[in-house]
Amino acid sequence: MPSLDKFIIRGGNRLDGTVTISGAKNASLALMPAALLASGVTRLENTPRLRDISTMSALLERMGVVVRHPGTSLELDTSNITSYEAPYEMVKKMRASFYVLGPLVGRFGQARVSYPGGCAWGPRPVDLHLKALEALGADIQIEAGYVVASAKRLRGADITFDVSSVGATGNTLMAAVLADGTTVIRNAATEPEITQLAAFLVRMGARIDGIGTNLLTVEGVDELQSANDTNIPDRIEAGTFLAATAAAGGRITLEHVEPQHLTAVLGKFREAGCTVLTGEDSITLESPERLSPVDVTTAIYPGFPTDMQAQWMALMAVAPGTSVVTDTVYLDRFNHVPELQRLGARIEVNRNAAVIRGVERLTGATVMSTDLRASASLIIAGLIADGSTEVLRVYHIDRGYEAIELKLRNLGADIQRVDSEDY
């Protein structure tokens, strides 16, 4: 039963100060299953303490992995794997559970992983993952809602993805590293989380060329060894704090961040009138006197990430003028729109584009959302709305933001978590 905590936000405070950015959730969710590819102890530093990470830990524990997570150092002991299954209850909670498929088939020649259903913003297919595994020689059957995959040993193949997919690239890489022969992955995802995964696989002994490009070549090896790694910073958490500050007004410095991962996003903040300075691992943003409306179109990396689209819309809701946010990655990811409208935003959605007419002020109300980034956009809206905003279903936020209310409070926001017993 997920927690029924809610946030109560009193809007109007400026945000000033410094925030330390946590490790990237989506990179951790790929690195953790990669540990299954070898027997032994893996240590992953800068692993955020999030609900999605606990879900992945619980899934790995069911397979026999011994997990310890003191602070932000995650230790996985994969010496005694006893099960090759990802059950429905877990995959339905978190689609990234599907990442165990590639490493299980690659190393153990078998896997039984629940077929993911739809998600909060529509169908999210896994056809590319399955086609790639079949190309690598796996036999794939769908039985009682499960993907049942088996192979004696996978063999290298030449794979071209029709669509650039983070998950399918990750799964295919993890399967191919132990395959017999050469695998070529064309139109591979180049998101930093995939680059991090590939680099980690190389630390484990994998042979991968083209890391960071959309053409990956993998020479399969017979065995991998456990390795340690340090996770990259979370570029979406970083972008969310920047959007909150640009909207609420103020000056913020992010520490432990990788500015290069945010090039497209920082460009948009500059266009909106913000002053943005970058250091080696820091970003400082100062809000403008008056925001300018700026269109964004989401795209694969290095484009503007779909995971920042909802937060950008909250910002544009109070930028004088008209802007358009178009999502080309997920065509119907607009859950947050009706809730932002409840706070007074003027937004109209036509197919995969939202037209936002900036208003002078938003007004507090009770809102909720069924997904992580949509919930983040509601928090931003709450920070700028007059009066009090209650954001329900905080458990979505806890999936992907580490102690967001504490970090925001340190910047001067008035935000409280109220636990379920209090109402």
* Cβ atoms < 10 Å from Cβ of 44: 25
Minimum CB distance to ligand UD1, residue 81 (Å): 22
- If DSSP codes are grouped into helix, strand and coil, which group holds residue 255? strand
Cβ burial of 160 (10 Å; 0-12, 13-18, 19+) is exposed
CA 278 to chain centre: 23
* Cβ atoms < 10 Å from Cβ of 388: 15
DSSP-assigned beta bridge partners for residue 415: 9
* Cβ atoms < 10 Å from Cβ of 341: 15
Closest to ligand UD1 by CB, 262 or 318: 262
In the bound state, the residue with its beta carbon closest to ligand UD1 is 167
Minimum CB distance to ligand UD1, residue 306 (Å): 5
Percent of the chain as helix, strand, coil, to the nearest 5: 35, 25, 40
Closest to ligand UD1 by CB, 74 or 126: 126
Catalytic residue of the set 4, 41, 58, 119: 119
How far apart (Å, rounded) are the C-alpha atoms in residues 261 and 277? 14
Minimum CB distance to ligand UD1, residue 302 (Å): 12
How far apart (Å, rounded) are the C-alpha atoms in residues 313 and 299? 16
Minimum CB distance to ligand UD1, residue 133 (Å): 11
Closest to ligand UD1 by CB, 54 or 366: 54
Q: For residue 166, give the amino acid letter.
A: V
Is 274 among the catalytic positions? no
Minimum CB distance to ligand UD1, residue 128 (Å): 3
Q: Closest Cα partner for 312 from 342, 283, 345, 276?
A: 345
Closest to ligand UD1 by CB, 135 or 413: 135
Laid out side by side, the sheet with 158-160 consists of 158-160, 182-186, 215-219, 207-209
How far apart (Å, rounded) are the C-alpha atoms in residues 333 and 234? 21
Closest to ligand UD1 by CB, 167 or 233: 167
Q: For residue 216, give the amino acid letter.
A: L
Closest to ligand UD1 by CB, 307 or 398: 307
- If DSSP codes are grouped into helix, strand and coil, which group holds residue 110? strand
How far apart (Å, rounded) are the C-alpha atoms in residues 377 and 421? 26
Minimum CB distance to ligand UD1, residue 273 (Å): 27
Closest to ligand UD1 by CB, 108 or 115: 115
Binding site for ligand UD1 (CB under 6 A): 26, 29, 96, 124-129, 163, 165-168, 189, 193, 305-307, 329-330
Closest to ligand UD1 by CB, 29 or 246: 29
Q: Which residue has the tokens 């992580």?
A: 372
| Tokens at 341, concatenated | 């409208």
Give the CA distances from residue 270 to residues 104, 204, 277, in Å, rounded to whole numbers and listed in that order. 44, 40, 10
Q: Dihedral of the CA atoms 44, 193, 203, 63 (nearest 10)?
A: 60
- If DSSP codes are grouped into helix, strand and coil, which group holds residue 126? coil
Minimum CB distance to ligand UD1, residue 401 (Å): 13
| Distance separating the N- and C-terminal Cα atoms of the chain | 17
Number of Cα atoms under 13 Å in the Cβ half of residue 250: 23
Minimum CB distance to ligand UD1, residue 420 (Å): 27
How far apart (Å, rounded) are the C-alpha atoms in residues 190 and 213? 6
Catalytic residues: 119
